[in-house]
Amino acid sequence: GLAAFRAFLRTEFSEENLEFWLACEEFKKIKSQSKMVSKAKKIFSEYIAIQSCKEVNLDSYTREHTKENLQNVSRSCFDLAQKRIYGLMEKDSYPRFLRSDLYLDIINQKKGSSPL
């Protein structure tokens, strides 16, 4: 399912939303504070900084709030941004994915192959 959704987002040029969300999930698993700081800076520069290569669509408040959180890195420093991006995918991209030919083809293939 994840691979299919990612492939769909790629066709819409919005794959960075899912990549950012997944990067945040991985970030929360980091145990070492020094690794958290390093990874937080990487996530910010890759997805949140203005004009970054995979910039996600965030409002200025969320962007600034996240930037301030980097002054004292914790597992929750991307929570607001991650929640906003999840909301975008949930309300926008995912419903379109469920109506897409890509998804419908997968569903039809599953219906066609019956278990033994």
Mean pLDDT in residue range 17-23:
98
Residue 50 CA to residue 60 CA, distance in Å, equals 10
* 3-class DSSP string for the chain: CHHHHHHHHHHCCCHHHHHHHHHHHHHCCCCCHHHHHHHHHHHHHHHHCCCCCCCCCCCHHHHHHHHHHHHHCCCCCCHHHHHHHHHHHHHHHHHHHHHCHHHHHHHHHHHHCCCC
- CATH class assigned to 14-93: mainly alpha
Q: Across the chain, what does the average pLDDT equal?
A: 94
Question: Crossing angle for the helix pair 15-27 and 2-11, nearest 10 degrees?
Answer: 140
pLDDT in tens, 22-78: 999 999 999 999 999 999 999 999 999 999 999 999 999 999 999 999 999 999 999
**pLDDT of 116 over the 60 cut:** no
pTM confidence score:
0.90
Supply 105's token pair.
Answer: 């083809």
